[in-house]
A and B are shown apart, each in its own frame.
Chain A
Amino acid sequence: MAAGVAAWLPFARAAAIGWMPVANLPMPIAPTEKNKRQDELIILNVSGRRFQTWRNTLDRYPDTLLGSSEKEFFYNEETKEYFFDRDPDVFRSVLNFYRTGKLHYPRYECISSYDEELAFFGIVPEIIGDCCYEEYKDRKRENVERLMDDQEDNKDAKLPNMTFRETMWRAFENPHTSTMALVFYYVTGFFIAVSVITNVVETVPCGSAPNQKEVPCGERYTVAFFCMDTACVMIFTVEYLMRLYAAPNRYRFMRSVMSIIDVVAILPYYIGLVMTDNEDVSGAFVTLRVFRVFRIFKFSRHSQGLRILGYTLKSCASELGFLLFSLTMAIIIFATVMFYAEKGSSSSKFTSIPASFWYTIVTMTTLGYGDMVPKTIAGKIFGSICSLSGVLVIALPVPVIVSNFSRIYHQNQRADKRRAQKMQKARLARIRLSKTGSSNAFLHSKRNGLFNEALELTGNTEEEKCLSKSTSLIESQHHHLLHCLEKTTNHEFVDEQYYQQSYLEAGLQNYPSQSPSLSSQDGVTGTCCTRRSKKRHTPLPNASAPAHMQPLTHTHTHQQGLQELSTIHIQPLSTSRSSLNMRIDEPAPLNCQSSQITTAIISIPTPPVTTPEGDAHLPAGPTHQNVVKVSAL
């Protein structure tokens, strides 16, 4: 129940008078305020700044520090105020939460100090309103990340008892861990550079001997280049094998991008070794050499920026795809148009539509080589349209890609996003829990309430004190209201699961007589019992035990459940309801004593009085017996 709405509770209760003439049963007694106080102002002194509010405002959230009796620990007798030695700025938000029911996160506050204050005052951060929740979560995530980074730096101290393999893997992944790793890192970097430069220089024409045409250096100094190549490939191979050995998950390593690049980089050499003698395929072999350029990609292990770029391109795949698609469309359109426009002119280079593709691409990207130019007027008109539109088509997706890059650069990694998603789920679950908490609270306190009434009737005061569970006055009034509704309609609020069960039974059974239902219950009992056993069983004591372990009791419940609507049986319900109640926090009634009191109420209109078969209904539960009270009207 929201905070402000609590103020409307008197209205809701007054409106319940509308049900009275309709109801056929007597209404439960209203809860009375034991000590009715006029609402008073209380002063909260937070580090010198005084806040004042009504006591009722704070009582809206009884499970926080300010709403419960915990604040009495901070009461200062001389000044008659509550003194908190905390941050007054953050306290503003905390107090506004009580006033408006919404918790806001002030942006200028440090996230960890805010969290601490919330923890101190017993407020769960999940209830931050939607307006501020995203900001809060973002800041929190950044903070956690930063802490993790700090931790990782500390973690890099060598851990003892690492196998040689693990050490090697760590060395490969993070070169700063040891000097060996650093050396290895620089050596491989050097050799990658050497290899790339060799490949490049190989094709440069060196000075030629006179009367001979220019030859590239590769062919002049074949042996030298071959030795260089061999050395590089050997280093790369050794590196690859070492990584393969050290990898914790070899299969995954072999599938990773970097290892594929490694393999592609060294494969041409080996293939070349194998097939030097065959003339036909040596041509193919030459082209394989082009793959040696992939060695340059090995640098991405050394450069973080390169990795981010690669990642960006991968994540912008859809934008890139769109760019490509729109370009293709435009190219085809314009190529077709240009082809038909230039068809008339003689000696036109636009021999076919695919031939016009080249012109279109060169024009649209504003390159304009000039090897193909339109000669007809129509061709020139369309050519100019083509170049103008080219600028647009290319300019549009590019900012998207750029913004993606910067977003990813500043954004967290996928793992953190996943973690955030988990937190979102948890948050929704908690909010849902608090929402259902209100209806559960009613079912749960109904038991206590019944218990209370029965205790009052028996006059057993010690046990009354045992019921230490103090629901706030507002809550008890709310529950009284719901109770009145139950009496008006002659039906009870129950838990979802119990409802499904009784629905199931109601479908199976059509007659209220006892004996047939007993026999036919067996089948149903099975399901019910199994369903119950599936429920999480906290050490909810004896109350759940009988309903759970005693098919006899169970049967009894069901057969009574089939009676006509106008009869209410609280007795069977109390056993079942308690088993449905997942709350762990009710040791009170059950620890203190050993009798479970149930009440059966019989209504006027239906003659068949069902005497509560409580006598027969003796659960063999170890700790209690049933005492049944009948209150007739």
Chain B
Amino acid sequence: MEAKRVETVSARVDAAVSSTDSVEDELELSAVRHRPEGLEQLEAQTRFSRKELQILYRGFKNECPSGVVNEDTFKDIYAQFFPQGDASTYAHFLFNAFDTDHNGSVSFEDFVMGLSILLRGTVQEKLIWAFNLYDINKDGYITKEEMLDIMKAIYDMMGKCTYPVLKEETPRQHVEVFFQKMDKNKDGVVTIDEFIDCCQNDENIMRSMHLFENVL
């Protein structure tokens, strides 16, 4: 049983950014290193088996040897899956959704908790997670502007070369459609209950929620 230890050797000061810091800062050893909680604890907290956690951690550690992902690395990784478009905005929103304690970096625990909900959670939990993703300022309401941001981010991932050609109003139209569907009392915002109700009544969405269950 290893106690969780966050070893901050020292924050690395990027030489390009700040020139005024002393030489010692740069000489001190590089990144923040983070060791995750023990395997048993993670097993208890998530719905993954031991083996699955091992596989996940190996992949995680390979890409982020320091143990935490910062937003730039996150964006890089995510962008590699969408070579044709620009995935950085959506990656930003995703990062915020995964970074539950809002400390600017996603540790392995955050990562695995998020994945546990997405892959092994109940439909309710998944919908709550999605709502959280859309609600950018986490105030409990999805406004049209927030939705538009998200929608634009998704459309950005498609890139330029699409068929039919992406027009300016496409995201906006899509948001209108979404709000028509979701906003029952037409007050201009979607609350979490409206959202969950509406999704549960929609066959497509229900079906698609089970889509990724065999991942991993």
On A, residues with C-beta under 8 Å from B are 1-2, 4-5, 7-27, 30, 32-33, 38-39, 435-436, 438-439, 477-478, 481-482, 484-486, 488-496, 498-499, 502-503, 506, 561, 563, 565, 573, 605
Contact = CB atoms under 8 A, between A and B. Distances in A.
Contact of A499 (B62, B111, B163): B163
Contacts of A493: 84, 158-159, 161-163
Given A14-B215, A482-B82, A492 B163 contact: yes
Nearest to A499: B161
A498 B163 contact: yes
A17 B158 contact: no
B185 interface: no
Nearest to A488: B154
A565 B167 contact: yes
Contacts of B177: 24, 605
Contacts of A573: 163
A228 B58 CA distance: 88
A1 B214 contact: no
A15 B94 contact: yes
A491 B133 contact: no
Contacts of A563: 164
A32 B164 contact: no
A493 B177 CA distance: 22
A54 B14 CA distance: 35
B62 A10 contact: no
Interface string B111-146: 100110011000000110110011000000000000
Contacts, number: 163
B153 to A, nearest CB: 10
B151, B164, B166 interface centre (most CB from chain A within 10 Å):
B164
A32 B214 contact: yes
Contacts of B129: 17-18
Contacts of B83: 435-436, 438-439
26 contacts: A7-B63, A8-B63, A9-B81, A10-B215, A11-B111, A17-B211, A18-B129, A21-B182, A23-B205, A25-B204, A26-B204, A30-B215, A38-B51, A435-B83, A477-B215, A489-B170, A491-B162, A492-B162, A492-B163, A492-B164, A495-B161, A498-B161, A499-B162, A502-B164, A565-B173, A605-B177
A22 B178 contact: yes
B161 A496 contact: yes
Contact of A485 (B78, B158, B207): B158
B178 A20 contact: no
A553 B93 CA distance: 43
Closest 9 CB pairs of A and B: A7-B59, A499-B161, A14-B118, A491-B162, A20-B208, A494-B163, A27-B208, A492-B163, A4-B62
Contacts of A16: 211-212
Interface string B171-207: 0011001100010000000000001000100001101
A7 B216 CA distance: 10
Nearest to A572: B163
A1 B81 contact: yes
A586 B187 CA distance: 54
A561 B162 CA distance: 12
Contacts of A22: 150-151, 154, 174, 178
Contacts of A27: 204, 207-208, 211
A39 B118 contact: no
A428 B166 CA distance: 31
A176 to B, nearest CB: 57
Given A30-B214, A493-B84, A506-B165, A5 B158 contact: no
Contact of B119 (A7, A14, A484): A14
B170 A565 contact: yes
A7 B118 contact: no
Interface string B74-91: 000110111110000000
Contacts of A15: 78, 94, 118
Interface in B95-124: 97, 111, 114-115, 118-119
A131 to B, nearest CB: 17
A262 to B, nearest CB: 59
Nearest to A3: B62
Nearest to B167: A565
